[in-house]
Amino acid sequence: MSRRYVILGNGIAGQTCAEDLRKADPDALIVIIAAERHPLYNRVALPRYLRGQVRREKVFMRTVDDYARQNLEIHFETWATDIDLRDRIVLTNRGQEFKYDAILVATGGRPKPPPWPGSSDVSACMGFQTLDDTDAIIEKADSCDRVLVMGGSFIGYELAEGVSFRKKANVTWIMRGPWFLRYVLDEEGGKLCHQLGEAQGVQFITSDEVQKFSRNNGRYVAETVNGHKVEFDLLTYGVGLDYYTEPVRKEVELKNGIVTDAKLRTSAPDAYAAGDVAVFYDLMVERHNQMGTWDNAEAHGKVAARNMAGADEDFFDVPTYTTTMFGSTLAVMGVTPDVQPGLESVRTFSFEEKFYRKLFFKDDRLVGAIMIGPPKGRKKLIEIMRSRQKIERPKQELLDPANLKDS
């Protein structure tokens, strides 16, 4: 009898897993449960789509016909409501039942609701997670005068950068911390981000938070703890995700997401987790970790497919995230202090030349980096991280791309 696989989620982790399983087993029954109404699209391209640099149709990576061609059974606008991990049956919101021999949970998460008092009274309030979110933000932001962005995360940054790049609405960005990515960048890195953002027209309000929303002459008004009053027409925000673990909440170990070992196996037999929802044992830092990057999810999908098909492979990779930074470039690699506090670091920067780079080490091994400006030497740094070799020379030398050629 052919093996039966069920994959929850058709993001890059689920899609990669499904396609690799199909390559390994042409006769397997592969079912994908997809909460969204769209075939696979490139979430990494959403910020570029928001900026107006990519046409909407270019965001899509698969068509409905692609699933049929690969004999992948996909159910859109469907999600698992419960999984019987003992009898290996998935129940869905549409009343379906799917039996499986191995299952992958790659359900990702949903934006947390805005936590600020009175935000529920702001009807024009949008998170930034999906293609539909992006469509709605573009439509509203292009037809209004002022957009308020809240949250000091990558999502907050992508919103501020994307809307301001369109040059149709004024953008104010409020964050609780003293600068963007306060747990990763230091004061100089934060200052450079502000310098680049202000040059693009973004107004920053830092070390502050909104305590009240009201209305004035048809506009919303955000009043902050420190006395700022910001009028706006649209509120966009990024404050993290609530991971979709409800179907397995009773039967696997949870810790914010779904806990796995280094092989992406959960505590239930033949049940795996991948992508944003997976709290996997990370061999780079030798502890459990959770990553929200596209390439990490794609690599998870490959390892999960091999192990679901009978292999016994550990996951090890260096996640990367690269985007524009108000006309410059932001690149993040490996593990950073927001997920692994206490890392040793070295850094260099120049406000005049508009660059910043900081490297992170654990037990004399390079485990992470962040760069603003031209990402010279990025590939070599990733190679060093992958090697897991101890750094024998002065760590400061790795900050200069010229010193990486002979590493």
In which order are the strands placed within the sheet that holds 355-362? 320-325, 328-334, 365-372, 355-362, 344-350
CA-CA distance, 80 to 6, in Å (whole number)? 11
Topology of domain 320-404 in CATH is: Enolase-like; domain 1 (3.30.390)
- Which two tokens mark 243? 């991971």
Query: Which pLDDT score is estimated for 53?
Result: 95
Q: Supply 380's token pair.
A: 């070599």
d(CA 24, CA 305): 9
- The pairs formed by 398-401 with CB atoms below 8 angstroms and a separation of 24 or more are 398/346, 398/359, 398/366, 399/346, 399/347, 399/348, 399/357, 399/359, 400/348, 401/376, 401/377
Continuous segment of H or E residues that includes residue 190:
helix 187-199
Give the architecture-level CATH label for domain 119-237: 3-Layer(bba) Sandwich (3.50)
Every domain range in the chain assigned CATH 3.50.50.60? 4-46+53-110+242-308, 119-237
pLDDT (0 to 100) of residue 50: 97
Residue 222 and residue 230 in contact, taking contact as beta carbons nearer than 8 Å:
yes
Q: Would strands 202-205 and 210-216 be described as parallel, antiparallel, or unpaired?
A: unpaired
Structure tokens at 137: 């933000």
CATH topology of domain 4-46+53-110+242-308: FAD/NAD(P)-binding domain (3.50.50)
Residues 6+ apart with CB under 8 A from 95: none
Q: Note the pLDDT tens digit of each residue in 121-178.
A: 999 999 999 999 999 999 999 999 999 999 998 999 999 999 999 999 999 999 999 9
User: Which parts of the chain sit beneath pLDDT 50?
Assistant: 406-407
Kind of pairing, strands 271-273 and 102-105?
Answer: parallel
What lies within 8 Å, CB to CB, of 111 at 6+ separation is 127, 128, 129, 155, 237, 238, 239, 240, 241, 242
Amino acid in position 24: A
List of residues 6+ apart from 90 with CB closer than 8 A: 6, 8, 33, 80, 82, 83, 84, 96, 97, 98, 99, 100, 103, 247
Report whether 234 contacts 126 (CB < 8 A): yes
**Predicted model pTM:** 0.93
| Average per-residue pLDDT for the chain | 95
Label each residue of 209-227 as H, E or C.
CEEEEEEECCEEEEEECCC
Please give the backbone phi and psi of residue 293, each rounded to the nearest 5 degrees, phi first: -95, 155
Q: Where in the chain is the domain with CATH 3.30.390.30?
A: 320-404
